[in-house]
């Protein structure tokens, strides 16, 4: 059952290019609809610019990039949870809906705390070398 009527696909992708196209659609949806994703992307981009200016070492780059991607991936998972919960319960209040959304938000918070710690551990010594 690869296609529903009106050309909207509901079945499996048949080619890698098709899978890649849907993944790209997902990234575009994150960027367009998720304000927090855009914010995290902006902060990550600023950290990369700071890293370029401060000439980070390879090791420092690895930690920084890991922290940035962890936050973006956590935000992605949070978005998935919100979408699926809304799909299932709509506007109805449900304790499990609250738990799922709160836990997903907690995941983003953990990743953000990790990023702040990594940012401080990487940027402070790099700033010290700069001055
Ligand atoms: N259907 C629901 N049932 C119970 N609680 C809900 C429900 N929908 C949302 N909530 C509560 O409201 C909070 C905010 O939900 P919402 O879907 O608005 O997320 P959000 O604030 O838009 O998240 P983000 O800031 O990551 O986009 C949830 O963390 C949860 O505590």
When pLDDT is averaged across residues 96-105 and rounded to a whole number, the result is 98
CB 73 within 8 A of CB 114: no
The reported pTM is 0.88
What's residue 3's pLDDT? 43
36 lines ligand 1 (CB under 6 A): yes
What ipTM was predicted for this assembly?
0.92
Residue 127 alpha carbon to ligand 1 centre in Å: 39
Could you tell me the end-to-end alpha-carbon distance of the chain, in angstroms, rounded to an integer? Answer: 63
Residue 90 alpha carbon to ligand 1 centre in Å: 11
Mutate which of 29, 76, 83, 98 to test ligand 1's pocket (most atoms within 8 Å of Cβ)? 98
When pLDDT is averaged across residues 72-89 and rounded to a whole number, the result is 98
Domain boundaries, the chain: 15-130
Q: Any idea which residues carry the catalytic annotation?
A: 75
At the topology level, CATH places domain 15-130 in Helix Hairpins (1.10.287)
pLDDT, mean over the chain: 93
- Lowest pLDDT segment from 10-19, 44-53, 80-89: 10-19
Token representation of residue 89: 């319960």
Helix 35-53 / helix 58-89 crossing angle, nearest 10 deg = 180
Decide if pLDDT at 35 tops 90: yes
Query: Cα 17 to the chain's mean position, in Å?
Result: 22
Tell me the CB-side half-sphere exposure of residue 116, using CA atoms within 13 A. Answer: 6
Residue 60 alpha carbon to ligand 1 centre in Å: 35
78 lines ligand 1 (CB under 6 A): yes
Q: Considering only CA atoms, which residue is closest to atom 15 of ligand 1?
A: 101
């Amino acid at each position: 059952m690869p296609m529903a009527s009106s050309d909207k696909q509901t079945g499996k992708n048949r080619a890698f290019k098709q899978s890649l196209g849907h993944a790209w659609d997902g990234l575009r949806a994150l960027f367009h609809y998720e304000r927090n994703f855009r914010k995290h992307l902006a902060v990550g981009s600023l950290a990369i610019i700071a890293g370029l200016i401060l000439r980070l070492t390879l090791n420092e780059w690895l930690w920084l990039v890991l922290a940035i991607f962890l936050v973006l991936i956590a935000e992605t998972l949070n978005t998935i949870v919100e979408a699926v919960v809304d799909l299932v319960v709509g506007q109805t209040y449900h304790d499990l809906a609250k738990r799922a959304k709160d836990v997903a938000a907690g995941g983003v918070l953990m990743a953000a705390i990790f990023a702040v710690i990594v940012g401080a551990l990487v940027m402070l010594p790099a700033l010290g070398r700069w001055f």
